[in-house]
Amino acid sequence: MEPMHLGCNMFGLYSFGPMMAKALGPETFMATYLAAGAMSSLGGMSAKLAMGKATPSLGASGAVLFLAAVTAFLRPDAEFCLIFLPFVPIPATTLLTGMVAMDLAGLILRWRRFDHGAHLAAVAAAYVYVHWGGLACANRFQAQCVAEWRELKRLLKQE
């Protein structure tokens, strides 16, 4: 990964991370972010293998794009600002549509600048997460884990 690409990813994480961590809770946010990275990496590697390449896929930008896509699906009225156009607010759905179009074009035309397969896998995973019950499942799992953690702490205090 190039330093500029990594810097943009970290800026995106800095931008979306706190809002998503507050919305999901820190534990669910971390699990979701790491799972999104793994899913986007798998998507990127699958796309590359389908094109006859065997290069690894990191999935870091896919994880950040996953957060942006979840934000866009949950809050379509939200506005994003790009690092290159910091004072121009762009509606979330417009930005997401543009990113998907660019990544589809990149995949079809075999552009090599970004991991387009990972990006598309991240947006697809975000759609499933928001619209097909992944968010509700994560919330139930988090509630169960927190309850078990509190019970464990209570038992340890008794000893």
Give the C-alpha separation, 128 to 3, whole Å: 31
Alpha-carbon 107 to chain mean position:
19
The CA-atom distances, in angstroms, between 22 and each of 7, 27, 155 are 23, 10, 28
Instruction: Report the catalytic residues.
Output: 61, 119
Look at the block and give the residue holding tokens 């464990």: 152
Alpha-carbon 104 to chain mean position:
17
In 3-state terms the chain splits into helix, strand, coil percentages (rounded to 5) of: 75, 5, 20
